[in-house]
Structure 1
C-alpha cells in the first residue's frame, strides 16, 4: 500500500495544506507533460508480488515484522496484514532475455524468503486468496504496525460512515459485514510495471485496460473466500468492496470509486488520470511533507490511495528525470515464480501489440465494453463470453488460444525480446490453455475431488508450488 507516513490522525488544516500542495504539483506535472520534459528511455520492466506467511497448519502466521527484520532483504517489505509480505524486482530493460533474468531474480528472492520462513517454523505461499483464511483472522490486531495503515483504516471508515459490507454472488453467495479495512489484506496480487516513453504512456495505458480481461481470466487464482466458491478471481470484487469509498461529499457511493476499473480511456494524455485524482478523490493521507514541488511527493502519495486496476505511476530515472510507469494490478499472486513471469511476458507482449494497433487504428471499442469484458472474465474465467475487436462474442479460452497468445508473441518480438525467451514463457500460457488449468481451475478441481478440505488443498498447493512445476501441469493428488 505504499510509503509510510509520520502520523495516523489529522486535523482539517492538514487536509487544506495538503490539497494546496497537491494542486500545485498537479499543475507542475501538467506543465512538464505539455513540454515533454520526461524520460525517453525505452521500456523498463518490473513487478511486485505479495505472499502469505503460514504456520505448519496452513494458517496465517502474523510475524512479518520479525520476519522482515531478520530476513533483511532489500526487495522484501511489509503489507497491510502481519501475515503478508511483498517481494519486489529491480527495474530491468524490456529487451533480450529479460524474462529469464526476471525469473532468476524472483526465484532467488523467493527461495531465500521461503528458507527464512522455514527457519521461523513457517512457510510462504503465493496465491490470490488463502483458502484456509477465516474472517476472524482479519482484525486490527493483525494489522501491520505502520501509521499509513492505521490512517487509511480511520479515513476510509469515516468517509463511509458505516461498516464494510461484502456481498459477492458467484457459484455460491457470500454476504457479511466487517468493521475495518482488513478484508483488503485477503487479496494478494502480482503487480506488473512497465516504464514507457511519455508519448506512448496513454496508448499503453489504454492497451492495458483492453488486455485486462484476458489477463484476469488466464491468471485467475482466487476462487474461494471463507469457504465459499465465488468468482474465478474473487480478489476483484473483494478488493473493490473492502475499500469501497467514492469521490467527494455527495457521491461517496457514486460511480467514482477508489478501487475500480477506472472511468474511461486516457483520450489525449496520461495527465487525465492525475487530473481526475485531484478533482474527484478526497485526500485520505494529508501527511505534512517537506519537499520541493519537483519531487511530486504529495501527488505520489495521493495517487497511491487510488487503486485503479490499471494505474499510472510517476517516478524518476537515476538522473532525476521524471518518468511514467503503468502498473497492471489484475493478476493474482502465484501459483509459482515461473507462472508469474509467464503472466508478465503475456501482459507485456499483448499490451504492446494492442498499443501498436491503437496508435495506427484508434481505440477498438468503447471503454464500457472493455469494462464489461473485464468483469465477465473475472467472474467466469476462461469460460467467459466477451465482445472482442470485431464486435462479436467469443469464449475467452478460444480467443486466447486462437488470437491473443500470437498477439503477445508479435508484441514481444517488436520489443526486441529474444525468441527463445518469448517462446519459453508463452509456452507456459499455452500449456495452461491446452490443459484448461489456471490456479482457480486447479483449486476447484481439487475441492470437487477431495471435498472442502482447504487445509489439505493448501498443503498440496504448497508442495506443487515448491516443485517449480507450472500450474498447467499440476495434479490434484
Structure 2
C-alpha cells in the first residue's frame, strides 16, 4: 500500500525533495502551512463553482506495486539498483527496499483499452523481470509476501528516499509510542514496531477513474458501496509472519501499522488516517474539507504558488499544499485533484485491492470495478439512498476478513453470500457499465468471465494460497517450508498469466524439488 506523497512533492519542484531531508518543522511552519491549506480549500470551492474542469469521463489509470524476491522467495532489498538499471520513469520506489511500483500510462478503456493496458503492463514487467533476473531476483505481484518476517520490516530496509524518511519521522512523532499490531483472523498475530516500515508488507493495485465534478459524489459513493464485494473477489493476502489471518490481511495491517492515534485519542473518537469514511457525500468538496478539518498536517511543506493570486489572474492553481495533505490521508477511495495541460480534473482513486495474482486478474478486477461503479453511479435510484453507510463499511470489513466466504447486506436481498451477490446482481451491472464505456464486447466478456469464474470455483488468490499451504502441511511440511513452497509455485504460475481460478492447488513442482522437513 503506497504511502502516497510522491505526486504532490513532484509537482512542487525538485528543490522540495532536496529540502525535505534537511527539514525540521517548527510550530510556525505548521501554522503557515495550515493557513495555506485553508486558502487552497477556498480556491477549490471557487473552482468547483466555475466552468473550468475537464468534464470527460472514461480516462483511467492503474498503479501496481511489486515485491522483489530471491530464488528462495525471500525479499530482496535492491529496489534502488533495479530502478537505476531500468531507467524507466514508469517504475518508482516504494516504502520498503524490496518494493517498487509501476504506473501504467492512463488511457480510455473504450474500445480496447484493457488490451492496451495488458500489453503495456506485461511488456514492462517482462523487461523489469529480465533486469531483476541478472541480479538473481524475481518480481512478485502479491498482496503480502508470505516469506516476510519482522526482521525484514526494520528501519534499515526503508527505501533510501527523503520523503519516506520524513514521513516515517512525522508519523512516529505524531504517534509518540510504538505501533501495536493485533490481527485476529483464522490465527492471531500480535507485534509492535517503532517505525512505519511494516506497512511495506502491504502491496496493492490502485485504479484511477476521471469523472466530472458534478458526478464525483455519485462515483465515490458507488465505489464505497461496492468496496466489500471488490475486496472479497480480489483478496490475495492471507498470510503474514507465518500466520493465516484475514483473506485480505493487508487491510488490517495498513490500518494498524500507520495509526497515529494513541488509545486515548481512539477513545475520544479521533478519526484514523487510514479511513473508510463515515458518511455518503454530496460533493467532492466534502472529502477535501473533512481531510482539512479532521487531520493535522504531517509534512508542512510550502510551495511558492499563491493559489489566490493565480486564480485571480485567470490561471489554474495546482493547490500544492492541499494535494500534499490529501496524499497523507489514506482513504480506501480517495479524491484526487490534478491539472493537465492547464485544465483541472478530478479522479476517484480506488485503493482497496491487493497486487496480483496475475496481470489478467488485475485487469479483470479493473473491469469489474469500472463497470459496476459506472452503472451504479448512473442509476436513477442510487444504491446509497437504500444502503446505510455503516452497512457498506461492515460489508468492507466482512469482505476483507472472509473473502469469497463473506456474507454481506444488500438492499432488496438482505444478508447474502458475496459470490451470489456478485453473480446475480453486480456482474450484470458491470456488463452494462462496460457497455456504457464502449468497451469491446469480446474484452468485456473475457475479463468479466474471470470474475464469474472466481465465484463459480470459489477460488481467488487468497483461497489458492491457503489451499496450497494446507496441502503442503498435510504432506508433513512445517509452516515456513509450506509458505516458501507455495510462494515459489505461485511465482511460476504468475509468469504464465492465466487467471488464478484456473490454477491447480497442488504445487506439484514444489513437491518434486523440496525435500521433506527433518523430524
Contact 1:43 1:197 in 2 (8 A): no
Residue number in structure 2 paired with 1:290: 304
In 1, distance between residues paired with 2:25 and 2:424?
A: 54
Residue number in structure 2 paired with 1:7: 20
Equivalent residue in structure 1 for 2:430, among 401, 404, 408 = 408
Aligned CA distance change for structure 1 residues 358 and 30 (closer, same or farther; 3 Å): farther
Equivalent residue in structure 2 for 1:173, among 188, 208, 222 = 188
In 1, distance between residues paired with 2:110 and 2:385?
A: 26
Write the mapping of 1:208-357 to structure 2, written as runs, cut at 5 A: 208-246=223-261, 254-266=269-281, 268-293=282-307, 294-317=317-340, 319-357=341-379
Contact 1:60 1:83 in 2 (8 A): yes
User: What displacement does 1:251 show?
Assistant: 6.1
In 2, distance between residues paired with 1:307 and 1:168?
A: 19
Residue number in structure 1 paired with 2:311: none
CA RMSD of aligned residues (A): 1.6
In 1, distance between residues paired with 2:364 and 2:29?
A: 44
In 1, distance between residues paired with 2:251 and 2:48?
A: 32
Residue number in structure 1 paired with 2:96: 81
Aligned CA distance change for structure 1 residues 114 and 230 (closer, same or farther; 3 Å): same
Q: Secondary structure at the match of 1:330?
A: strand
Larger CA deviation: 409-418 vs 123-132: 409-418
Q: Secondary structure at the match of 2:366?
A: helix
Larger CA deviation: 144-153 vs 276-285: 144-153
Q: Secondary structure at the match of 2:352?
A: coil
Task: Please give the per-residue CA displacement for 1:370-426, whole angstroms capped at 9, x wherever unaligned.
Answer: 001110111011111111021510011111122211111011111111111111111
Aligned CA distance change for structure 1 residues 362 and 186 (closer, same or farther; 3 Å): closer
Equivalent residue in structure 2 for 1:447, among 457, 462, 469 = 469
Aligned CA distance change for structure 1 residues 299 and 422 (closer, same or farther; 3 Å): same
Task: Please give the per-residue CA displacement for 1:174-194, whole angstroms capped at 9, x wherever unaligned.
Answer: 111111101110000010110
Equivalent residue in structure 2 for 1:106, among 108, 113, 121 = 121
In 1, distance between residues paired with 2:266 and 2:462?
A: 35
User: 2:459 aligned with 1:437, yes or no?
Assistant: yes
User: 2:485 aligned with 1:463, yes or no?
Assistant: no
In 2, distance between residues paired with 1:253 and 1:119?
A: 53
Residue number in structure 1 paired with 2:517: none
Contact 1:159 1:252 in 2 (8 A): no
User: What displacement does 1:253 show?
Assistant: 6.6
Contact 2:222 2:383 in 1 (8 A): no
User: 2:145 aligned with 1:123, yes or no?
Assistant: no
User: What displacement does 1:362 show?
Assistant: 5.8
In 1, distance between residues paired with 2:497 and 2:108?
A: 25
User: 2:196 aligned with 1:205, yes or no?
Assistant: no
Q: Secondary structure at the match of 1:74?
A: coil
Residue number in structure 2 paired with 1:472: 501
Write the mapping of 1:381-400 to structure 2, written as runs, cut at 5 A: 381-390=403-412, 392-400=414-422
Alignment gaps of 5+ in structure 1: none
Aligned CA distance change for structure 1 residues 367 and 361 (closer, same or farther; 3 Å): closer
In 1, distance between residues paired with 2:319 and 2:459?
A: 43
Task: Please give the per-residue CA displacement for 1:180-228, whole angstroms capped at 9, x wherever unaligned.
Answer: 1011100000101101111111100000001101110000000000010
User: 2:36 aligned with 1:21, yes or no?
Assistant: yes
Contact 1:195 1:323 in 2 (8 A): yes
Tell me the matched-pair count.
474
Alignment gaps of 5+ in structure 2: 10-16, 308-316, 474-478, 508-519
User: 2:61 aligned with 1:32, yes or no?
Assistant: no
Residue number in structure 1 paired with 2:515: none
